[in-house]
Structure 1
Amino acid sequence: MYYYEDKWFKLIQGDCIERLRSIDEKSINMIFADPPYKLSNDGITCKSGKMASVNKGEWDRSEGLKDDHDFNKKWLLECGRVLTDNGTIWISGTYHIIHSIAFALMEMNYYIINEVTWNKPNAAPNMGCRCFTASQETLLWAKKSKKARHVFNYSLMKELNGGKQMRSVWDIPTTPMREKTYGGHPTQKPKELLKRCILSSTNHEDIILDPFCGSGTTGVVAVENRRKFIGIDTNTEYLELTKKRLLDAEGEITWMNYGQNPF
């Protein structure tokens, strides 16, 4: 099993449901989850101006409505166990999976704080020309109960939005090539998207978990902004990519020299 621990982050290889069971109960302040969208259906899309397959890997193939929904409930249950009572969870997805997740959250008595639309100004064109061009994803921001006292750094978000209240539609381009210096992931999210999620709902030295770590964008933004990070992924190569990005992020900031392991 791949495992790497640094002063400010841990990377763990394996099935997220199994690995989550090894994490202490109510020890995580915020979770960002980018689960499989189950959209690898042998269709086509546009990538860098060329026709390409939509397939991401076997991990992204649908097992059928019931099994996909059961999977969502299982990993959400384990996320709820490790999340603090006042912690929050962000979940991203397209229409292929996000409605199952929203229903699962309601079944489990989560309270949905916001539904955020990530609008992609530079979204890839539609190749089939038989429907509207998909140019957005949905992010659900939720907490374990309506009465939970969740973190929301309202003033900071207003400041980042030019002195105006930040709304729930975010215009953010897709991941730029400069964020793929060490390589990329087929579902890699841009740092700007994670920056808004993390800065809005956590404080310095909070612990952030990503159960579907991918190329580690959640961790990079967390470390750059003085948060601790735990990442889980099934793929060792992506964890190595994440490690390189995180070590690079560490090397650019001086506040790391605390000398004490924050975990």
Structure 2
Amino acid sequence: MKYQDSSGEHIILFGDSIKLLDQEIQDESIHLIFVDPPYNIGKKYANFIDKWPTEENYLLWCYSWLELCFKKLHPEGSIYLMASTQTIPYLDIYLRKHIHILSRIIWHYDSSGVQAKNYFGSLYEPIIYGVKNPKSYTFNRDDIKVEAKTGSKRKLIDYRKAIPKVYNSHKVPGNVWYFPRVRYRMEEYEKHPTQKPEALLKRIILASSNVGDTILDPFAGTFTTSAVAQKVGRKSIGIEIEEDYIKIGLRRLGICTHYNGNLLQKPLKSYQRNYQQLELFKDD
């Protein structure tokens, strides 16, 4: 099933990613693909348990949609792939045969309340960034620059220059990115076990696409990719198989206000409900 906003620039496809990638997406039409698939680590996504019978089964599934992604990617397009630390080495080797890998990025985040006690717990997720054509691709470095502490804070002088001057105060980020994970009390939080932060997607989209380009997310989840694309003037296509998450996408993108006769609205969090009840009690 297909949904789109009034402009036709933001599309939601409801169903299996492999089938819809093959049948609904035109070859070489996508400027940027962000892929954040199930990791095969046993997470529960609405009605789906993220676990394959064997690692080989999971990898073969990954290869099938990756092959389609390569077909759909524009000749000057870029792809960012996230995966578990256990799986990323296999996918890295596979990707090298099909695209040019430019960066291997670490998304580092803060610790959760519960951490491993008998080994070193994971505080990062890997991202592979690659392009079809290493001689012609989009990279808007000025749109993603961050503060360079050496230049902006310490005011050190670069004496290597013909005329010595203070180091630059801004620079292109390196390949270790810090963004907090999406927490329950954050405004952007949706009910999803692996929601990615808007700030992470904003950096990727600003860097590797231009206004008017089309961004594809084959495993849209809470439709953060599409929501950020909409905010920064890009087009988007999000594919999702779980109805609960389709409803989130329809609401976040402003495609419709009701679904099957029910109002689409963000559920109140427990502390918000408690506050409302307190206010009602005061009125009484």
Secondary structure of the residue aligned to 1:139 is strand
Partner of 2:233: 226
What 5-or-longer segments of structure 1 have no aligned partner? 41-53, 249-263
Contact 1:69 1:104 in 2 (8 A): no
The answer for the alignment partner of 1:134 in structure 2 is: 122
Deviation at 1:160, TM superposition (A): 6.8
The residue aligned with 1:213 is 220
Spell out the pairing of 1:99-178 with structure 2 (5 A cutoff): 99-107=89-97, 109-127=98-116, 129-147=117-135, 149-158=136-145, 163-176=170-183, 177-178=186-187
Change (3 A) 1:184 1:106: same
Contact 2:99-2:132 at 8 Å conserved across structures: yes
The one-letter code matched in structure 2 to 1:111 is H
Q: Distance in 1 between matches of 2:113 and 2:72?
A: 37
Following superposition, the deviation at residue 106 of structure 1 comes to 1.9
| Matching of residues 2-81 of structure 1 within 5 Å | 2-6=1-5, 7=7, 8-21=9-22, 22-40=24-42, 55-56=44-45, 58-81=48-71
Question: Which residue of 2 is the match for residue 188 of structure 1?
Answer: 195
Provide the TM-score with structure 2 as the length reference: 0.76
Greater C-alpha Rg: 2
Compute the RMSD of aligned alpha carbons: 1.9
Shift of 1:121: 2.0
Query: Which amino acid is the alignment partner of residue 15 of structure 1?
Result: D
Distance (Å, rounded) in 1 between the aligned partners of 2:75 and 2:175: 24
**Contact 2:44–2:193 (CA under 8 A) maintained in structure 1:** no
Q: Deviations over 1:7-52 (max 9, x none)?
A: 2200011111110012111110000000110011xxxxxxxxxxxx
Q: Is the CA contact (8 Å cut-off) linking 1:12 and 1:232 kept in structure 2?
A: yes
Q: Is the 8 A contact 2:83 2:127 kept in 1?
A: yes
Report the identity percentage. Answer: 31
Aligned residues: 229
Counterpart residue identity of residue 40, structure 2: K
Structure 2 spans left out of the alignment, 5+ residues:
149-168, 256-284
Match in the other structure for 1:246: 253
Pair 139,124 (structure 1): closer, same or farther in 2 beyond 3 Å? farther
State the TM-score, normalized to the length of structure 1: 0.81
Please say if residues 83 and 125 of structure 2, whose CA atoms lie closer than 8 Å, have aligned partners that are also in contact: yes
